[in-house]
A and B are shown apart, each in its own frame.
Chain A
Amino acid sequence: MLYNAQHEQTTTALVTAFTKQTGIVVKVDNDDEDVLTAKIEQEGARSPADVIFTENSNWLQQLADKGLLARVDSGTLAAIPSADNSTDGDWVGVSARVSALVYNTKDLTTAELPKSVLDLAEPKWKGKIEIAPSETDFWPVVSSVEDRYGHARALAWLEGLKSNAGANVVPDNETITADVNRGVAQLGVINQYYFERLKAETSGSSLRAGLAFFAPGDAGYLKTISGAAVLKSSAHSSAAQKLLAFLVSNTGQHTIAAGESFEYPLRAGVAPNRADTPLAQLSPSTFTPSEFGTGAEAKKLLQEAQLL
């Protein structure tokens, strides 16, 4: 059983290809990563899950810290650059995503866009920005701002965002992307692939959104890692390790690039989807998964700002 928190766009194609290659049938339970992590913690040793695949690394790290994950086979870890894996070998990176701005092209020109994620808290964006604090993809950005500017500034920044957003507080990045495209809000922070999916779903004329990255190295310009792990309690650990190996194999990584996921494959030499700007041409900050950790700091900050 795979507990899947990655977008179904990514996973369905991967699982189908895996079953075709190995004959191993995978049952999939789709839910949000926070829900699935909590579920595994509640289920404990009786969890029916063998593998968990999340959008952000912090949930895997949280499970690893609680001693619920098995070590990933070394061959699997070796397929991915070590900076993109858990430092202790508890989980393996599968794909990367880059945080960015989505903006309404009728309301804003590229010149008007903020260069730093910090600028979004300025009064000039009041009533123009939409935020999704319970969207776990937003947490790395919060954690990165805190890491660079300290707790107090990060909190003030979140409070500014909250006041600017007003009623435009939504549950997820899909809503931000769709709302910016509809003109409900002028801009918002998302991961790049949400925009690529919107583009793939809408015909040319109704696309009124654009994607922009922050200034190179900005605290809001992040490469975040989506990864997978095998549970210690797994009753099918060898099949589970095979699934992980497949996710990072040439076939698996090409499946990610070919589908409608629009996330970046991590294996060296596998080119991303043509819609994506190659990672080599981007300059995100150096904020790493290990600095992100379990994301507990981000959650605490969001709660202090009364956003959660």
Chain B
Amino acid sequence: MSGLAGQGLTALATFPSARRGRRRPVLTLFAAVIGIILLLPLVAVLVDVQQSGWSEVASVLFRARSAQLLINTLALPLIVTPLAAVIGTAAAWYTECTRLPGRRIWTVLLVLPVAMPDFIVGYAWHTIDPTASPLGAAVLVMTLSSYPLVYLPVAAALRRSDPALEEASRSLGLSSTRTFFRVVLPALRPAILGGCLIIALVLVSEYGAFEIVRFQTFTTEVFTEFQVNPGAAGALSLPLILIGVLLVTGESLVSVPRASGRTGMHRRTLVELHRGAIGLTAAFTALVALAVVVPVATLVFWLQSSQHTTLPAQSTVLQATLTTCEYCAGGAILAVVLALPIAFLSARRSRGLPAVIERSTYLTLALPGVVIALSLIFISLRIAFGIYETSWLVMIGYAVLTFPLALSCMKSSIRQAPEQLTAIGRSLGRSAPYVFLRVTLPLIAPGIVAGFCLVFLTASTELTATLVLQPPDAMTLTTQFWAFQSESAFGAAAPYGLVIILLSTVPGALLALWFDRAGQRQ
């Protein structure tokens, strides 16, 4: 997964709100410019396709192989998304609404799989059983790493929801099961659908895990084609863009605005599990063991085996860690700064132009990292040769790829900050910059920190764009892991993998805490 813990958050933040605000022409202009810049990669893909000519495009797209790739690309979302939705929703309901022993611990443990880079999970399962069927392995790996994307928003929605409705339903004689299906589930629909959308998008653009378990999709094909036939790589990403657009529009059509609020501060009566608690604990333990313990144990196992390889390391673990931190921090700062104007605009006004601008930035989620990276190269070669092959381009790449994540974190923070406080500040005769620094910024600081963590976490597990964009002689943890892994030098790859997990779990845990609090506050 591109480690997208809070893509669940993205789902949360996309719901329309009825809040209205003043028009702000300068802010809108700012936001529009940023929105257009973010769409440039998409434009570059189209220009690239147009330049390579229709015959080239047709020869790559319309052939027997494409049919197989299309089947594979679509099969996975069709199988994995429902599985992940069921697991995620069930897990959320049991941790939020029942007296499961150790509920608090489970709320953290169940989210952890999202911090595991999927290519590491794929690698673990592949080394355990290299002969497994590609589809089976892909389904297993992706279900395990993506169910938290449903779990997170559903758990948050449950925490916010009004238990009075469920109690009314039960008092009217409906059983717990029927109450769940007729009252709870319909209320959770937006959260579940939002999570499913993110999962489907992640699946369509996944590369690392599929390459390892040998499951070929359009995204893995773009990578191969980029190597042997760069002119056609753009053409192959067209189906991906199309699928992405369809998914994003489809979700916005079926998703309904969430029913407003609760009738009062009413504590939920938790359902007793009795004997079921043992079975459930066993099931959760198995889930976390498969998703987290197996990959970590595999890495530790390889760490202890021979680390001898004829391939010299480009970067030591320390160098790679520093490089990774530098790129990720740079990318995260960039993403947060760029997202700020759009977050302000769309949090205060959610109709018309601001909504269009905001929505358009989500399109990048549908594009695989490699496609974004290729278009950035395309752009930098033509109009910004100075940043070509520098760390700047990597950071820009991370910022573009993760922009919607930063946006969603900050947007929800801004929504919670009362606008009146700013107005009071202004009415007391303070200048706008002063009010922004002393009033607004402290109010939205948690959102900024969460956005930074989320981008950092996602970027630190990013593989494909990094492979394409990284300057020579400065490899990151993921690319050095990949280099060794590709040479089957598993022992040498293991330390890099373990550091990646460490690095992504820390922001992951911070994020889970933020999410927990955000859910309780609302």
Best-buried of B64, B134, B486, B488 by chain A (most CB within 10 Å): B488
Is B389 interfacial (CB 8 A cutoff)? yes
Say whether, besides A9-B310, A34-B227, A171-B486, A42 and B377 are in contact (CB < 8 Å).
yes
CB neighbours of B389 from chain A (8 A) = 29, 48
Instruction: Give the interface SS of chain B, mostly helix, strand, loop or mixed.
Output: loop
Separation of A306 and B65 alpha carbons in the complex (Å): 5
Q: Distance (Å) between the CB of A269 and the closest chain B CB?
A: 25
Is A55 interfacial (CB 8 A cutoff)? no
B133, B310, B473, B488: the one contacting A178 at CB < 8 Å is: B488
Separation of A37 and B394 alpha carbons in the complex (Å): 21
Is B489 interfacial (CB 8 A cutoff)? yes
CB neighbours of A38 from chain B (8 A) = 226-227, 230
Nearest first, the 9 A-B pairs at minimum CB distance are A29-B472, A178-B488, A260-B310, A306-B65, A38-B230, A34-B227, A184-B130, A174-B487, A12-B312
Residues 1-21 of chain A, each 1 if its beta carbon lies under 8 Å from chain B, else 0? 100000111001000000000
Is A235 interfacial (CB 8 A cutoff)? no
Interface size for A (C-beta < 8 A) is: 42
Is A106 interfacial (CB 8 A cutoff)? no
Separation of A41 and B226 alpha carbons in the complex (Å): 13
Q: Which residue of A lies closest to B129 (CB)?
A: A184
Among A81-89, A197-205, A284-292, the stretch that binds chain B is: A197-205
CB neighbours of B385 from chain A (8 A) = 46
Establish whether residues B131 and A184, one from each chain, have CB atoms under 8 Å apart when the complex forms. yes
Is B381 interfacial (CB 8 A cutoff)? yes
Is A118 interfacial (CB 8 A cutoff)? no
Say whether, besides A27-B473, A182-B130, A8 and B377 are in contact (CB < 8 Å).
no
Separation of A15 and B308 alpha carbons in the complex (Å): 22
Establish whether residues B306 and A203, one from each chain, have CB atoms under 8 Å apart when the complex forms. yes
Q: Which residue of A lies closest to B131 (CB)?
A: A184
Is B314 interfacial (CB 8 A cutoff)? yes
CB neighbours of A168 from chain B (8 A) = 214
Best-buried of B133, B226, B306, B487 by chain A (most CB within 10 Å): B487
Is B249 interfacial (CB 8 A cutoff)? no
20 A-B pairs besides A48-B389, A170-B214, A174-B487 with CB distance below 8 A are A8-B311, A9-B310, A27-B473, A28-B473, A35-B226, A41-B230, A42-B377, A134-B227, A136-B228, A169-B214, A171-B224, A171-B486, A174-B488, A177-B488, A200-B308, A201-B489, A306-B63, A306-B64, A306-B65, A308-B225
CB neighbours of A167 from chain B (8 A) = 133-134, 214
Establish whether residues B311 and A9, one from each chain, have CB atoms under 8 Å apart when the complex forms. yes
Separation of A34 and B230 alpha carbons in the complex (Å): 9
Is B118 interfacial (CB 8 A cutoff)? no
Separation of A136 and B229 alpha carbons in the complex (Å): 12
CB neighbours of B381 from chain A (8 A) = 42-43, 46
CB neighbours of A46 from chain B (8 A) = 381, 385
Q: List 26 A-B contacts (CB under 8 A).
A: A9-B310, A9-B312, A28-B473, A29-B389, A29-B472, A29-B473, A30-B472, A35-B227, A38-B227, A38-B230, A42-B230, A42-B377, A43-B381, A46-B381, A169-B216, A171-B211, A171-B224, A174-B486, A174-B487, A179-B130, A182-B130, A201-B309, A299-B229, A306-B64, A306-B65, A308-B224
Separation of A178 and B123 alpha carbons in the complex (Å): 14
Residues 407-426 of chain B, each 1 if its beta carbon lies under 8 Å from chain A, else 0? 00000000000000000000
Q: Distance (Å) between the CB of B256 and the closest chain A CB?
A: 42
Separation of A182 and B490 alpha carbons in the complex (Å): 13
- Chain B residues with CB under 8 Å of chain A are 63-65, 68, 130-131, 133-134, 211, 214, 216, 224-230, 306, 308-312, 314, 377, 381, 385, 389, 472-473, 486-489
Q: Distance (Å) between the CB of A235 and the closest chain B CB?
A: 14
- Chain A residues with CB under 8 Å of chain B are 1, 7-9, 12, 27-30, 32, 34-35, 38, 41-43, 46, 48, 134, 136, 167-172, 174-175, 177-179, 182, 184, 197, 200-203, 260, 299, 306, 308
Separation of A178 and B64 alpha carbons in the complex (Å): 30
Q: Which residue of B lies closest to A12 (CB)?
A: B312
Q: Which residue of B lies closest to A49 (CB)?
A: B472
A32, A170, A201: the one contacting B227 at CB < 8 Å is: A32
Establish whether residues A201 and B308, one from each chain, have CB atoms under 8 Å apart when the complex forms. yes
Establish whether residues A28 and B472, one from each chain, have CB atoms under 8 Å apart when the complex forms. yes
Establish whether residues A8 and B214, one from each chain, have CB atoms under 8 Å apart when the complex forms. no
Separation of A29 and B311 alpha carbons in the complex (Å): 15
Q: Distance (Å) between the CB of A205 and the closest chain B CB?
A: 12
Separation of A74 and B306 alpha carbons in the complex (Å): 46
CB neighbours of B377 from chain A (8 A) = 42
Q: Which residue of B lies closest to A167 (CB)?
A: B134
Separation of A19 and B385 alpha carbons in the complex (Å): 29
Q: Distance (Å) between the CB of B316 and the closest chain A CB?
A: 14
Q: Which residue of B lies closest to A32 (CB)?
A: B227
Q: Distance (Å) between the CB of A300 and the closest chain B CB?
A: 10
Separation of A167 and B455 alpha carbons in the complex (Å): 36
CB neighbours of B216 from chain A (8 A) = 169
Say whether, besides A30-B472, A43-B381, A175-B488, A134 and B224 are in contact (CB < 8 Å).
yes
Q: Which residue of A lies closest to B488 (CB)?
A: A178
CB neighbours of A308 from chain B (8 A) = 224-225, 228-229
Separation of A307 and B311 alpha carbons in the complex (Å): 28
Q: Which residue of B lies closest to A295 (CB)?
A: B228
CB neighbours of A8 from chain B (8 A) = 311-312, 314
Establish whether residues B306 and A201, one from each chain, have CB atoms under 8 Å apart when the complex forms. yes
Establish whether residues A299 and B488, one from each chain, have CB atoms under 8 Å apart when the complex forms. no
CB neighbours of B488 from chain A (8 A) = 174-175, 177-178
